[in-house]
Amino acid sequence: MSLEPGETKRAEIEKLCTRYNLFRFGLLKMAFKTRYFQFILQLPLVFFLVLVIATGFYGIPDPGQNLATVAVWTVWWTGIIVLILTMGATWCLVCPWAAVADWVERLSFWKKKIGIT
């Protein structure tokens, strides 16, 4: 494909690429604009994370029958690879580790003092 006079390489690439605006769908746009959307996605994964950690400590000692071992080494790694390959950085939106860290940070255990103490 040749460039027209005054046309940049970027313009040529944009002609070849198809873009989809997912926010034209009202329900999806509304979901992403609400501040509870990420929390609703993260909460079940945080519960699952706590369940996996608890079964790792208190579950069946046999690794083939323990939910923690099976969940992490079969479901988790397979799922995370497929998710990243198909959806890119979407995992960052629902990551349970980041969720717990953000929730603890918002509790403001360490309040910043303003001014001279």
Residue 44 has pLDDT above 90, yes or no: yes
Measured distance CA(40)–CA(47) in Å, rounded: 12
pTM of the model: 0.65
Count of C-beta atoms within a 10 Å radius of residue 59: 16
Residue 4 has pLDDT above 60, yes or no: no
Q: 54-90 pLDDT, tens per residue?
A: 999 998 888 888 889 988 888 888 888 888 888 777 7
